[in-house]
Chains A and B, each alone.
Chain A
Amino acid sequence: MLTSYTGELVRIRPFADSDEFADLNVALNPEDRFWGQSWWPLQRIREGFDKHAMLDSELWFSFLAIDRLDTAELIGYEVVQLPRPGMITAEIGTGILRRHWHRGFGREAKRLAIRLLFDNFPLAAITATTLAHHRRAVAGILAIGMRYEGAIRCSAFSNGRWAHKAKYVIFREEWERLTARTAEGH
């Protein structure tokens, strides 16, 4: 299984001890005004990292590091869901430190994660979930070719109110058509 993918702007790869995953997790949290405070105690995150290095089929979500290619900085994580029993879809998600926003790093990291999952597993589709009112996240998901699949009503609490989560999907054949077109464009 390939675990590192390199694009034009970023690379995704497994986390190493030296990356201080727990600190990154905490650093990302207060920058998100949509999902609220959600990080666990540092000790618990570190214990989780020591056990699985955040990449294991036992985990509901695994995490890969996102590095900028131009500065070699660790700028966030890409969430990848390894296949679960019976399921032929898997989910991705992205967290980027605020100072690296708006430069296309997150979108490329998502594309690399989709490639990683389709290359390595017999999956029919990749999905993504965000809050339905989180327009920046929605824009990023749509920009990589995913389409809206539906809403899970009142399934999150965000800024003092119940919020819907929105689900997005891209099927393998859609992804292959998209990447073939992109390759032709180049």
Chain B
Amino acid sequence: METAIETTERGFATGRHVVLRPVLETDLPELARLMAENPYNHEQVPWTYHRLKKRFEDKEKPGLWDREDKTYAVVRRRGGIAGYITENTSDNQMYWCTLHIGSGISDRDALGTDLAAAYLAYKERWHHPRRISFALLLLEDQKAGWLTAAGFEQELVFERSYFHSGRATSLAYYTWCADWALAMRAERHPVPGEEDPRRGA
């Protein structure tokens, strides 16, 4: 009997073009390639299929998914992995992320913009986030555009902080901050001097 439910492509978040879901074993060959080509991946050595498979099978963090660290596969609605998001949350309501969509994909901008919006909508609906930050290289203009379109702002540039392609390059945080958190800080608890951290005591 044929099952009508394609459970493997069901995700947490569904955009116009992509869904987000946990990584499946069948994603690993393509996911390893995507991870290796991401210019910002905080790894000493490149990802390979076999290395990623070992990580995927890790008994403490099976499926690249635990309480603090999660990897979401970004899958086209019609099927096929196109990218991924990594998410770290060691602090309640605060998420540190990276994202990537395959560089050779012709509709990369459409998928990336959709991905950023779908992820933010998902977090807002289910996780009451205070802030969400995506770290990327400053030279990754396309990613910055996806995030800006979804409501993220460039928050901070870490000048010459990352070694990439033989040279020092800058990292940027693109951040979404909840209005309620900003309001709670600004209105209820003003602190003299806080407005200008260039000055000390």
List residues of chain A with CB under 8 Å of any chain B CB: 84-89, 124-125, 127, 132-133, 135-136, 138-143, 148-155, 159-164, 166-167, 169, 171
Determine which of B159, B163, B200 lies in contact with A86 in the assembled complex, contact meaning CB atoms within 8 Å: B163
Given contacts A160-B189, A169-B159, A85 and B197 within 8 Å (CB-CB): no
Cα A163 to Cα B94 in complex, Å, equals 13
Q: Report chain A residues within 8 Å CB of B158.
A: 89, 127, 149, 167, 169
Determine which of B44, B177, B185 lies in contact with A161 in the assembled complex, contact meaning CB atoms within 8 Å: B185
Is A155 touching B188 in the complex (CB atoms < 8 A)?
A: no
Is B43 touching A85 in the complex (CB atoms < 8 A)?
A: yes
Residue of B nearest to A171 (CB): B160
Is B185 touching A154 in the complex (CB atoms < 8 A)?
A: yes
Q: Report chain B residues within 8 Å CB of A124.
A: 160-161, 168
Is A125 touching B159 in the complex (CB atoms < 8 A)?
A: yes
Q: Report chain B residues within 8 Å CB of A142.
A: 198-200
Q: Report chain A residues within 8 Å CB of B42.
A: 84-87
Is B185 touching A148 in the complex (CB atoms < 8 A)?
A: no
Could you tell me which residues of chain B, from 128 to 169, have a CB within 8 Å of some CB in chain A? 130-131, 133, 155-164, 168
Taking the complex as formed, is B194 at the interface, i.e. its CB lies under 8 A from any CB of chain A?
yes
Q: Report chain B residues within 8 Å CB of A154.
A: 130-131, 177-178, 181-182, 185
For the complex, count residues of B whose C-beta is within 8 A of A: 38
Is A140 touching B161 in the complex (CB atoms < 8 A)?
A: no
Taking the complex as formed, is B201 at the interface, i.e. its CB lies under 8 A from any CB of chain A?
yes
9 A–B contacts from the bound complex (CB under 8 Å): A86-B163, A127-B158, A133-B193, A133-B194, A135-B201, A140-B200, A151-B155, A153-B131, A154-B177
Is A161 touching B159 in the complex (CB atoms < 8 A)?
A: no
Secondary structure type dominating chain A contacts: strand
Secondary structure type dominating chain B contacts: mixed
Taking the complex as formed, is B71 at the interface, i.e. its CB lies under 8 A from any CB of chain A?
no
Q: Report chain A residues within 8 Å CB of B175.
A: 152-153
Is A149 touching B159 in the complex (CB atoms < 8 A)?
A: yes
Is B189 touching A125 in the complex (CB atoms < 8 A)?
A: no
Taking the complex as formed, is B84 at the interface, i.e. its CB lies under 8 A from any CB of chain A?
no
Taking the complex as formed, is B184 at the interface, i.e. its CB lies under 8 A from any CB of chain A?
yes
Q: Report chain B residues within 8 Å CB of A89.
A: 158, 160-161
Q: Report chain B residues within 8 Å CB of A135.
A: 193, 199-201
Cα A171 to Cα B170 in complex, Å, equals 13
Cα A184 to Cα B197 in complex, Å, equals 30
Is B197 touching A151 in the complex (CB atoms < 8 A)?
A: yes
What is the minimal beta-carbon distance from B38 to any residue of chain A, in angstroms? 11
Is B198 touching A148 in the complex (CB atoms < 8 A)?
A: yes
Cα A136 to Cα B178 in complex, Å, equals 28
Cα A166 to Cα B158 in complex, Å, equals 12
What is the minimal beta-carbon distance from A170 to any residue of chain B, in angstroms? 11
Q: Report chain B residues within 8 Å CB of A141.
A: 200
Q: Report chain B residues within 8 Å CB of A132.
A: 194, 197
Cα A151 to Cα B173 in complex, Å, equals 10
Is B162 touching A136 in the complex (CB atoms < 8 A)?
A: no
Taking the complex as formed, is B105 at the interface, i.e. its CB lies under 8 A from any CB of chain A?
no
Taking the complex as formed, is B191 at the interface, i.e. its CB lies under 8 A from any CB of chain A?
yes
Residue of B160, B163, B200 with highest tally of chain A CB at under 10 A: B200
